[in-house]
Structure 1
Amino acid sequence: MSATAKKMKVGFIGLGIMGQSMAGHLLDAGHDLNVYNRTRSKAEDLIGRGAVWCDSPGKVAAASDVVITVVGYPRDVEEVYLGPAGIVAHAHEGALLIDMTTSSPDLARRIARAAVTRGMTALDAPVSGGDGGARTGTLTIMAGGSDEGFARARPLFEAMGTTIVHMGAAGAGQHTKMANQIAIASTMLAVSESLAYAEAAGLSLGQVLEVIGTGAASSFLLNGLGPKMVAADYSPGFFVHHFVKDMSIALAECERLGLDLPGLALARRLYQRLVDGGYGEEGTQALYRVYTQLMGVSDAV
């Protein structure tokens, strides 16, 4: 911790594929850390490094000045924050609450309003960068909420990420993450279809990636996940079922906004096919399975 940084009592709830690394960076930065996860075994490494285990989200909140959450679904976020045993009911006046889950913009606004009524401040601050960015502390963090809340949170964000932007009022972070996921959805379609075409044409997929990965088609997803598709390496950096959740949130927002995004709708439908086929725990590059294993002639889109 730098000489000018302030040591904080931080609570961290949700120690999954990204949360463990994110919480670890806060420990490394010198902050006191209180943790909770539905499966305690996922907290053992952090406890061994000095984190304090709490038996519920409410107990984390009561023991902390700042509470950070990275949980699964909007229903989990709502329960953890607004339930009777949750954060808002048990955090003390002046606490800063930061939800870093990808969740609903409307829910982010509701949490912010509930926090204000109890003298607290809430931010929605979803992230991009996957498990790799979480491990290396290079996440992109997009925050919504008050200027004062963002200023308080920034030293913590700097321990976890490198691109940190205040996007606007409550819900703006989640809206930005939806834009991010929409861009990923259609790009993953493009990468999968490109490789499916190359394979059908009898080309060397490795050579195809080498060539088009340096031209106008180059992208982080093509160059990062394309080789995994070719190698049939579908280990998760970000779960398929979580991506389906994100796209479903985005489509619900599109309906509210009167916006038709056919690429997003198609991507959600094809990713849902992976979930239905039992591949929801694989990484998003498993979309290539749809084109090589799961799509028949009658499925032409």
Structure 2
Amino acid sequence: MSITPISKGAAIGFIGTGVMGQSMVKNLMAAGYQLHVYNRTKAKTEPLVALGAISHDSPGELARHVDLLISMVGYPHDVEQIYLSEQGILANAKPGTLLVDMTTSSPSLARRIEQEAANKQCFSLDAPVSGGDIGAREGRLSIMVGGEAAVFEAVKPVFEVLGTNIVHQGAAGAGQHTKMSNQIAIASNMMGVCEALAYAKKAGLDPSHVLKSIESGAAGSWSLSNLGPRMINGNFEPGFYIKHFIKDMGIALEAADEMGLETHGLKLARQLYEQLAELGEENSGTQALYKLYTTS
């Protein structure tokens, strides 16, 4: 079956209009696409409906009306439910529909969805992202894509609305494996950022001045430049939830164990974040790790 590229004016479905999804939908609408939306908490779709999006009552109902469906939900079990249940996406999508799961999920589930999509004469990609709320709002996400090259090319114009660093990584599941590499790097880096700023504060320095000196040198990172100021200012609102980061680290640890790879930094980071979640911070942003270093 031939793959039809997604052109301007096409009907795009978006499932999961949370912190990042809201901005992504707005960017797609601004680019001239017709948006259909679904969220378990329907109130989260209302600002988008006010801008012209069409709301639906279930993923399956939405799937019947779109040429491309994008999902960004919380957990792998949510992905499995919306795609593979009897009333879900694949049971209702039209033949030829392009399906893009941008949730950070498991590589094995991405491969399963691709196979089930093929059975329904549909096409799928796994395309998790990095860049947080800022990247989503500004259309500067990093998008890591797994799946067939021809499907990637058909969806690429849409990806270009959402991100600036878009890389086809390989077959189904490759996008998710790449995102695990991303999360592993972030996990240890976040510990370093928190420790550095906590050290500066303990030494009697102004952490904001220290940040100016270290962020542009060898210590520089996205987390240091973007989340460091939030830590210093006591802003722990979520660009990315701690509970979701813990989920991601669990997926990465499981995949690493399957490959026989020891990930010492990742294990420690998850322990610290689980400790933070037990203190009631699971809905805070990942930068709230700073609290473990600065409060007693």
How high is the TM-score relative to the length of structure 1? 0.94
Q: How does 1:177-192 map to 2 (within 5 A)?
A: 177-192=179-194
Residue 297 of structure 1 corresponds to none
Residue 63 (structure 2) pairs with residue 61 (structure 1)? yes
User: Paired residue for 1:288?
Assistant: 290
- Of residues 101, 104, 107, the one that matches 2:106 is 104
Report the AA paired with residue 191 of structure 1: V
Alignment of 1:265-276 (within 5 A): 265-276=267-278
Write the letter of the residue equivalent to 1:262: H
- The question of whether the paired residues in 1 share the 8 Å contact of 2:152 and 2:168 is answered with yes
Shift in Å, 1:264: 0.5
Find the aligned partners of 2:230 and 2:160 in 1 and give their Cα distance. Answer: 30
List per-residue Cα deviations over 1:105-140 (Å, max 9, x = no partner): 111001001001111101000111101111111111
Deviations 1:189-238 (A, max 9, x none): 11111122222222222222122223221222112211221222111111
In the alignment, structure 2 segments of 5+ residues that lack a partner are 1-5
Larger CA deviation: 199-208 vs 158-167: 199-208
Query: 1:214 & 1:24 partners in 2: Cα distance?
Result: 32
Matched, 1:197 2:196: no
Query: Which residue number corresponds to residue 167 of structure 1?
Result: 169
TM-score calculated relative to the size of structure 2: 0.95
Distance 2:131 2:14 in 1: 19
Query: Is 1:75 aligned with 2:72?
Result: no
- 1:5 CA drift (Å): 4.3
Counterpart of 2:26 in structure 1 is 24
Shift of 1:34: 1.2
Question: C-alpha offsets along residues 154-212 of structure 1, whole Å, 9 cap, x if unaligned?
Answer: 11111111111111000000111111111111100111111222222222222221222
**2:87 is matched with which residue?**
85
* Residue of structure 1 in register with 2:3 after alignment: none
* Distance (whole Å) between structure 1 residues aligned to residue 44 and residue 198 of structure 2: 38
* Matched residue, 2:232: 230
Identity of aligned residues (%): 54
| 1:274 counterpart SS class | helix
Q: Of the candidates 206, 209, 212, which is equivalent to residue 208 of structure 2?
A: 206
Kindly provide the CA deviation profile for residues 50-87 of structure 1, in whole angstroms up to 9, marking residues without a partner as x.
21111100011111111110100001000010111110
| Structure 2 residue matching 1:289: 3-state secondary structure | helix
Q: Deviations over 1:18-43 (max 9, x none)?
A: 01111111111111211111111111
Calculate the aligned-residue CA RMSD, in Å. 1.3
- In structure 2, how many angstroms separate the alpha carbons of the residues matched to 1:276 and 1:146? 41
Of 250, 253, 256, the match for 2:255: 253
DSSP 3-state at the match of 1:277: helix
Distance 1:219 1:143 in 2: 23
Corresponding position of 1:33: 35
Q: Take 1:112 and 1:95, find their aligned partners in 2: how far apart are those partners? A: 12
- Pairing 1:119-130 to 2, within 5 Å after superposition: 119-130=121-132
Q: Distance in 2 between matches of 1:24 and 1:232?
A: 29
Indicate the residue corresponding to 1:48 in structure 2.
Answer: 50
Size of the aligned set, in residue pairs, is 291
Instruction: For 1:287 and 1:191, locate their aligned partners in 2 and report how far apart those are by CA, in whole Å.
Output: 10
> Counterparts of 1:46 and 1:97 in 2: how far apart (Å)?
21
2:154 aligned partner: 152
Partner of 2:221: 219
